[in-house]
Structure 1
Amino acid sequence: MGTVTGTITTAGKHPPMNDIVSPAALYRLMTFLSPAFPVGAFSYSHGLEKVIEQGGVKDAAELEDWLSGILRYGAGRNDAILLKETLLAGQEGDASLVIELRELGLALQPSRERHLETSAQGTAFMQTVAKSWPPDAGTTAGKLFRDLVAADHDPWPYPVAFGLVCAAHAIPVKAAATSFLQAFVANIVSAAIRAVPIGQNDGQRTIAGLEPVVFEVSETALRSGLDDLGSSAFFADIASMAHEIQYSRLFRS
Structure 2
Amino acid sequence: MDTITLTDPNLLCLLQLASPALPVGGYSYSEGLETLVEDGAIAHPENLKHWIEMELRYGAIRIEAAVMIRGYHSAQARDLENLSSWNNWLSAARETEELRASSLGMGRSLMRLLVELQPQTQAIADAVGNSCNYAIAFSIAAAHWQINIQAALLGYLYSWANNLITAGVKLVPLGQTSGQKLLLELQPLLSHATTQILNLEDDELSCCTWGLSLASMRHETLYTRLFRS
TM-score range, shorter chain: over 0.9
Residue-by-residue CA offset, 1:102-147 (whole Å, 9 max, x unaligned): 111111111111001111011100110111234xx5xxxxxxx432
State which of 122, 125, 128 in structure 2 corresponds to 1:149: 125
Q: Hey, what does 1:140 align to over in structure 2?
A: none
Is 1:53 aligned with 2:38?
Answer: yes
Question: Residue 24 of structure 2 aligns to a residue in which SS?
Answer: coil
Q: Counterpart of 2:155 in structure 1: which amino acid?
A: S
% identical aligned pairs = 29
Within 1, Cα distance between the matches of 2:142 and 2:123? 16
Is 1:175 aligned with 2:151?
Answer: yes
Within 1, Cα distance between the matches of 2:46 and 2:33? 14
Q: CA RMSD in A?
A: 1.4
CA pair 152-207 structure 1, distance change in 2 beyond 3 A: closer
Q: CA contact under 8 A between 1:123 and 1:155: conserved in structure 2?
A: yes
State which of 202, 213, 221 in structure 1 corresponds to 2:189: 213
Residue-by-residue CA offset, 1:14-73 (whole Å, 9 max, x unaligned): xxx674211111111111221221101111001000000001100100100001111111
Q: Hey, what does 1:199 align to over in structure 2?
A: 175
Is 1:241 aligned with 2:217?
Answer: yes
- CA shift, 1:217, in A, is 1.1
- CA shift, 1:188, in A, is 0.6
Q: Hey, what does 1:8 align to over in structure 2?
A: none
Unaligned stretches of 5+ residues in structure 2: none
Of stretches 168-177 and 225-234 in structure 1, the one that deviates more from structure 2 is: 225-234
Matches within 5 A, 1:1-253: 19-134=4-119, 137=120, 145-151=121-127, 153-253=129-229
TM-score by length of 2: 0.95
Q: How many residues align?
A: 228
Q: CA contact under 8 A between 1:44 and 1:252: conserved in structure 2?
A: yes
TM-score by length of 1: 0.86
Within 1, Cα distance between the matches of 2:4 and 2:82? 24
